């Protein structure tokens, strides 16, 4: 829902299917070849789906090859005389700390980017957006594919090319783990928050906490989800965990158990947060402003809860697996 991602017309919301599914490739003959300075990533620090792409960009050291811009956290009207509320850019780079004007296309909203890319587009205006500055179009708006591209296709520009988040020997396990983490946890919190019947909510809560319990058990035995090496599922899980106690427990009613009440999961979250570059992808003020302020059907007065203001820079115990 932080990326307009849930279907609120059902008691069992489904993720919106993304529409732009092209790939950047190391192949020079590709329509979208990997080139330094050609691509731009549009994100929201509030959105976990966008933030996981930014996390991989930072981990790989692609800052000089791929630029990025964040929208402001609160949804606003995206067009005059139109009721649609969505991601917008601030009017100045100083208006909202962390958010910037669109210096690439001069767009006022993410909706305008989609209009530039396709006059016939009728889907949702979501982030992340991977933009081709040369062809002036959207390459891809599916976060799982963007983070995979960043991990594998830009190594000749990366400052950390040896980091492989999708190593061949673990791909089967990574794919399997991505699947249950996505359905049970990443999308699971949204199922809880969007449920319109008690039955749907109860089912979603059970699925969510069953998956979290599974993670806790796995992390009792190893440092990361697929062994003692950081891989894709860890990044995908991290962006949900870091938002859990601050937003999801209250706004999405995911309060059966806090992440900081899970010994392994909480230490694991601190461990990943402290990887160089990762903390810069977390702006909790953006997270809380969006979740508490952009969903009037859930929080009509837009009051932002204080706390718990967790310090993820404190020591953790995950080095025991080193």
Residue 11 is predicted with a pLDDT of: 54
Q: What percent of the chain has pLDDT over 90?
A: 93
Cis ω for the linkage preceding 128 (within 30 of 0): yes
Confidence of residue 291 (pLDDT cuts 50, 70, 90): very high
CATH code for the domain in which residue 230 is found: 1.20.1050.10
Residue 239 lies in a domain: yes
Q: Per the structure, how many domains does the chain have?
A: 1
Residue 154 lies in a domain: no
Residue 221 lies in a domain: yes
Residue 222 lies in a domain: yes
Token pair, residue 158, equals 């990366």
Residue 16 is predicted with a pLDDT of: 58
Domain that holds residue 214: 168-321
Asked whether residue 276 carries a pLDDT value surpassing 50, the answer given is: yes
263 belongs to an annotated ligand binding site:
no
297 belongs to an annotated ligand binding site:
no
91 near 99, Cβ under 8 Å?
no
Asked whether residue 285 carries a pLDDT value surpassing 60, the answer given is: yes
Q: How far is CA 48 from CA 80, 144, 266, in A?
A: 28, 11, 18
d(CA 231, CA 7): 30
125 belongs to an annotated ligand binding site:
yes
Catalytic residue, candidates 42, 45, 47, 268: 47
Residue 18 is predicted with a pLDDT of: 66
The reply to whether 47 belongs to the active site is: yes
- Read off the pLDDT of residues 117-164 as tens digits, 9 standing for 90 and up: 999 999 999 999 999 999 999 999 999 999 999 999 999 999 999 999
181 belongs to an annotated ligand binding site:
no
262 belongs to an annotated ligand binding site:
no
Average pLDDT value over all residues in the chain = 94
- H or E segment to which residue 137 belongs: strand 137-140
Query: What is the DSSP annotation of 191-243?
Result: HHHH--SHHHHHHHHHHHHHHHHHHHHHHTTSSBTTBSS--HHHHHHHHHHHH
Cis ω for the linkage preceding 308 (within 30 of 0): yes
d(CA 312, CA 278): 11
292 belongs to an annotated ligand binding site:
no
Residue 322 is predicted with a pLDDT of: 81
Residues 6+ apart with CB under 8 A from 221: none
4 near 125, Cβ under 8 Å?
yes
Residue 287 lies in a domain: yes
- Read off the pLDDT of residues 6-64 as tens digits, 9 standing for 90 and up: 444 445 545 456 689 999 999 999 999 999 999 999 999 999 999 999 999 999 999 99
- Read off the pLDDT of residues 105-115 as tens digits, 9 standing for 90 and up: 999 999 999 99
* Core vs surface per residue 19-52: b (16+ CB within 10 A) or e: bbebbbeeeeeeebebbeebbbbbbbbbbbbbbb
142 belongs to an annotated ligand binding site:
yes
Confidence of residue 262 (pLDDT cuts 50, 70, 90): very high
Residue 94 is predicted with a pLDDT of: 95
- Read off the pLDDT of residues 75-115 as tens digits, 9 standing for 90 and up: 999 999 999 999 999 999 999 999 999 999 999 999 999 99
Residue 126 lies in a domain: no
Catalytic residue, candidates 190, 248, 268, 312: 190
- Read off the pLDDT of residues 198-221 as tens digits, 9 standing for 90 and up: 999 999 999 999 999 999 999 999
The reply to whether 53 belongs to the active site is: no
Residues 6+ apart with CB under 8 A from 306: none
Residue 78 is predicted with a pLDDT of: 96
**Beta bridge mates, 41:** 68, 130
Residue 242 lies in a domain: yes
Residue 152 lies in a domain: no
What pTM was estimated for this model as a whole? Answer: 0.94
130 near 141, Cβ under 8 Å?
yes
């Amino acid at each position: 829902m932080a990326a307009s991602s849930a279907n609120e017309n059902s008691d069992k919301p489904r993720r919106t299917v993304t529409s732009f599914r092209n790939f950047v490739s190391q192949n020079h003959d590709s329509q979208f070849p990997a080139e330094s300075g050609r691509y731009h990533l549009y994100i929201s620090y509030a959105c976990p789906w966008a933030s996981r792409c930014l996390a991989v960009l930072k981990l790989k050291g692609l800052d000089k090859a791929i630029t990025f811009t964040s929208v402001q956290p609160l949804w606003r009207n995206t067009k005059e005389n139109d009721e649609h509320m969505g991601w917008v850019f601030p009017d100045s780079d100083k208006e909202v700390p962390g958010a910037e004007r669109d210096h690439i296309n001069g767009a006022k909203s993410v909706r305008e980017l989609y209009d530039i890319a396709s006059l016939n587009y009728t889907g949702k205006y979501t982030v992340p957006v991977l933009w081709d500055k040369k062809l002036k179009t959207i390459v891809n708006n599916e976060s799982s594919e963007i983070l995979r591209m960043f991990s594998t296709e830009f190594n000749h520009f990366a400052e950390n090319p040896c980091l492989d988040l999708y190593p061949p020997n673990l791909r089967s396990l990574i794919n399997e783990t991505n699947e249950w983490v996505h359905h049970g946890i990443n999308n699971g919190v949204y199922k809880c928050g969007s449920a319109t019947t008690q039955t749907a909510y109860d089912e979603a809560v059970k699925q969510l906490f069953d998956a979290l319990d599974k993670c806790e058990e796995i992390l009792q035995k190893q440092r990361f989800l697929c062994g003692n090496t950081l891989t894709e599922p860890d990044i995908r899980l991290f962006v949900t965990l870091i938002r859990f106690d601050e937003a999801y427990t209250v706004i999405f009613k995911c309060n059966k158990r806090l992440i900081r009440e899970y010994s392994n999961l909480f230490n694991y979250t601190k461990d990943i947060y402290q990887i160089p570059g990762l903390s810069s992808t977390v702006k909790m003020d953006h997270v809380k402003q969006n979740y508490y302020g952009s969903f009037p059907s859930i929080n009509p007065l837009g009051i932002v809860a204080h706390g718990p203001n967790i310090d993820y820079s404190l020591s953790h115990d995950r080095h025991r697996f080193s």
